[in-house]
Every structure is written in C-alpha cells, then in structure tokens.
Structure 1
Amino acid sequence: MSGLPLKWAIAGDGTSVAYRDSGGAGVPVVFTNGYATSTYYWDGLVEALGAEVRAITWDLRGHGRSKAARDPQSLTVAGCADDLRRVMDAAGVERAVLVAFSFGCQIVLEAWRLMPERVMGLVPILGPFERPFDTLISPKVGPQLYEVFRRVRPQWAGAMLKAGAWSGRMPGVHFAARLTGVVGRGVRAEAMRPFYETLGGIDAPSWHALGLAAQDHSARDLLETIDVPTLVIAGGRDVFSPGELGREMAAMIPGARLMWLEEATHTGLLGHPEPIAAAVRTYLKAFHTPPAPAVSRERADVVGA
C-alpha cells in the first residue's frame, strides 16, 4: 500500500486526513488503525488478501501522514467514525467491510452507530469495545495509568512520545518487550521499527485527546444490535486489550465468530499474519457475489423472443 498515491479526505474540523486506495475490483475493505500506530500495521494483511479486496487504509488525525487535528476537542470516537465516513465518501465507496485494530475497534463499532447502512461487515482485531484503560495490563494498573495520563499536559505528552521513539533504538528494549509479553515472541525488532518511528511524528495534542476520548467511550449498547457478519480476533497473551474482551464482544454480537489466538500479544498482526489472513480470507468469501448461471443459446433465444 505504501507505493500507492496518497489521497485526502477532509475532517469535520477541516483537517486533511490521508488515505490510500488500492482501487481493486474486490470486496471494499477499509482498515482502521489503532492508537499511536499508522497504516504499516496492515501491510502484511493487505498483501496477503491481494486482489480479493479493494483495500483502503487511512491515518487518524495527528498520526502518520494525516495532519494534526485543527480542533483536538473534536477528536472523540464519534468524530473518528465521522472521519472514516468521510474517507469512504472521498474514495467513492458506498458500503464496505470495516476491519480495525486496537482502538480502531471502538471507531468501527461507533461507525455502526453512525452509519449502519454503509457497513457490510465488521472485523475487530485485538481491540476493546469500551474504556480501554480499565483493563490495560490489569484492572488495578490501567485505571491508575489513566489518572496519570489524564493529568498530562499536551506538551508533556509530546515528550512522552519522543521518549518512546528514542527508546526503540536502545539495545535490549526489544528483548525486554518480548520477555514481558508486550511484543510477541515471533516479532522481530525490524518489524517494530516503524512503530517507534511513528511515535516520534505523532501530534501530541491529537494523541492526548484521542486517549481521553477512548476512555470516555463505550459501544456495549451497540453490540446486540449488530446484524452484519462479524469476525472477532482476540489474543490470549494480549496485555493491552485482553483476549477476554474479544470473547465477550463476540458473545454479545448475534452470530459473531471468534478467532482465538492463544499465543498472540497486542502485536498479533505482526506475529501471526498467516492465520489472521486465512481467517479474514475465509470470512470475506461471504461477500463475493457468485457468477450468474450460464444461459444456453436456446434459452436465450426464448427469452429474447
């Protein structure tokens, strides 16, 4: 996807939102990023799906190639869902399957509230449906981290992002991240490099506003109303969005399927690309329109008479 031309949608506050569109003839699929990430997380999955999908990837305001939010206060989860709608409008896509990672899961669930008629299906991957700090690391640790985060001024948040980007270059950091389960055992340091590079370029006010918005949001009331094909992918070793959240989400969505990856951490898209791609490919078969049956010449002559 990185080789495709960059295109732009305009958010409600006037911010330029970057997206890329493969323009393929397959099932339209919009991929929504997680918090503090960019579209590189989707490269492996998009490549594996190939011509089966028309892949559209986009960056949240203040992240990746998108510009800093002109009005950070508009960066609610509903505001991000509206950004997603505007990306679809700009791409000329009326309906699409919405695939999301981490915080992006809250966004696509909110998109169901905003525009259910435009949602063909949902694939939440390794993400929550409400208040992510409540279960971050543990029910005791996460809320305390949120209280610290809530009090951080935007300029301090920028320093935190720069420190995170710098730490990625320190010897031993990747080993420690794998040892503690933050990063999956099969994820190489090279695969994580774009993550650290992205951290350094994130707009701090946008990042801070999104963190607050995520914690204020819940899609619990929406889950039982979802009536499109849904595949939930959860990781058994995910400390950022515990797999049990995915299990609960799948149980509450009528007819949803659950893919459980016992060894997956929050970096499951990088550490388990093959099984995830296989599951998504199987899921997408439901959206392929079978070819119309051939009509014999004799029958055609009768119909045309």
Structure 2
Amino acid sequence: MPTATNGDEDLYYETAGAGPTVAFVEPAGYGAWCWSWLVDALAGPVETLVWDLRGTGRSDAPPGPYDVATLAADLEAVLADHGTRTVHLVGAGLGGMVALQHAREYGRATTLALLGTTADGSRVDADALRDLQAPRDDRDALRASLTEAFSPGVVEAHPEAVDRIAGWRADDDAGPDGWDAQIGAMLDFEMPDLYTVTTPSLVVHGRADAVVPVEAGRDLAEDLPKGTFEGIDAGHLVAAEEPTLLEDALAGQLNEHADLDG
C-alpha cells in the first residue's frame, strides 16, 4: 500500500479510479471510512485519494501537539509522493482547515470543497467536538458518540447503519492521543487573511451542525474571494449523512473546473 513520508512520519494513502485527482481530508479523529460513500460514487471519471491523518488509522501517530500547518505539510507529502500535479481538495471539519492551509501554502489546489468547517477555531463548539470522541474498544460508546455527528433523530432511525459505522470506527479512527492532538489543532486554527485563498471554493454546511455553527460556514464563504455557500439539512458529518446531495454538489463543481475528458 502507498506510504508517503513527512520527516520521520509515515502517512498511508490509497487511490481509486482515473482522471483528475480528488483528495479527501477527514474530520478530527475519524478514519477515512467517512468518505466511503463519496469515493464509491466518484471514482471512475476522477481519481480519488484518501489518506489517514497523522494519529489516525495506518499512518504514524507521533505525540502531540499537532497543528494545521503540519497536517497540510503531510497532505503535500502525500500528493508529492503520488505525483499529483494539481488536485481538487475536499475537506471536512479539521480537514477543511487543512485544505484551506494547503491551498494557500502550496498552490496545487484547483478547487476546494469545505464541509462543516471554519477559518476560526474559536467558533468551534469545543464540548460538542470532544463529545464525538469515543474509545475504539467500546462499541456502545462509539454508537452513542455519533449522536453529535448527525442531525437529531438520525442515529435512532438507522441502527444497522450506525452499527456498521461503529465497526469501521473501531478499526480506523484515531486513538485517544491522536484524537486529542487533532482536536487541539482544530481549536487552535486561525486564518484571518482569507483574501489570499483565491481558489474556487464550495462551502457546504449542515444546518444542524452541532460542532461548527452554520453561520460560521456562511461567513467562510463570504470571506473567500471565490466562495459559494450551500446549506444542507444534515449534521456535522455531511458526507456520511447526505452523500447523494454532496455528490451532486461536487459533480457540479468538477464539471465546471475539471477536465473530466482527460
């Protein structure tokens, strides 16, 4: 399996499909499972790339603290290792912050899709963010902690899907130290000079997001020179709760900005 290196840290990634590269950056603590539905839908006319942030899954888990700049450098190491010249970045929560930082620092991003995120970590509900965390060996806690990730009633209405997600989380999520380090990176992030990020940016936000208020998403879209906002009836994990709506939104962005015919 492909592994990139940033300094002493090994970073696991995998790809599927062929065409323009769409790279996904997951939220704090969660494994790449949260992109499963979108990757299955998009792989083919595009190449999808998913990777494990440091502290998560099969990537190395050095002790914290972490910061968004380091995670963006990790992403750059992955893209460089894969030989990606340009990329369409899709980031959720912490991953959206990493995508913003990478777009500003490295110049590879052709488009950004920013899900349930903000450029100001002080706007994150720290308690709700920490409530997403659960021990990987406690299935009941993994299920219960999903309540804050989705809009009200979703967990109770879909017990089989929740059980499946709990199994994925047990295998792929960050351990407790990785969770804490990634949460710290998210809460400490601040990018005041958004005018420097001129990449076309689609900001998608769940109207019932308990972790990052929807108003923060609207403000992010307003402050980005080429930002557009789309609200969805979902919670923090938009990509898992409403993958079809998000697939449509991403397809529209890619049709406008990507050469899907090669």
- The answer as to whether partners of 2:30 and 2:169 remain within 8 angstroms in 1 is no
Q: 1:92 aligns with which of 83, 94, 101?
A: 83
- The answer as to whether partners of 2:124 and 2:187 remain within 8 angstroms in 1 is no
Structure 1 position 214, deviation (Å) = 2.0
Q: 1:273 aligns with which of 243, 246, 261?
A: 243
Inter-CA distance 176–87: structure 2 relative to 1 (3 Å threshold): closer
TM-score, normalised with respect to structure 2: 0.86
Superposition map of 1:100-111 within 5 A: 100-111=91-102
- Rounded to whole Å, the distance in 2 between the matches of 1:36 and 1:206 is 7
Superposition map of 1:160-239 within 5 A: 161-162=134-135, 165-168=138-141, 173=144, 181=152, 188-194=161-167, 196-198=169-171, 202-221=174-193, 223-239=194-210
Q: 1:250 aligns with which of 221, 232, 241?
A: 221
Question: What runs of 5+ residues in structure 2 fail to find an aligned partner?
Answer: none
| Pairwise CA RMSD | 2.9
How many residues are aligned here? Answer: 257
Q: 1:28-47 deviations in whole A, cap 9, x for unaligned?
A: 11111110101111111111
Corresponding residue number in structure 2 for 1:36: 29
Superposition map of 1:43-122 within 5 A: 43-69=36-62, 71-73=63-65, 75-115=66-106, 117-122=107-112
Corresponding residue number in structure 1 for 2:3: 8
Inter-CA distance 203–179: structure 2 relative to 1 (3 Å threshold): closer
Structure 1 position 120, deviation (Å) = 0.9
Inter-CA distance 179–59: structure 2 relative to 1 (3 Å threshold): closer
Inter-CA distance 229–210: structure 2 relative to 1 (3 Å threshold): same
Structure 1 position 182, deviation (Å) = 8.5
- The answer as to whether partners of 2:134 and 2:145 remain within 8 angstroms in 1 is no
SS of 1:121 mapped into structure 2:
strand
Computing the radius of gyration from Cα coordinates, the structure with the larger value is 1
- The answer as to whether partners of 2:27 and 2:92 remain within 8 angstroms in 1 is yes
Output the amino acid matched with 2:64. P
- The answer as to whether partners of 1:29 and 1:99 remain within 8 angstroms in 2 is yes
**4+ aligned runs moved over 4 Å, structure 1:** 174-180, 182-187
Inter-CA distance 30–58: structure 2 relative to 1 (3 Å threshold): same
Structure 1 position 192, deviation (Å) = 2.8
TM-score, normalised with respect to structure 1: 0.75
Structure 1 position 72, deviation (Å) = 2.8
Structure 1 position 96, deviation (Å) = 0.4
Output the amino acid matched with 1:202. A
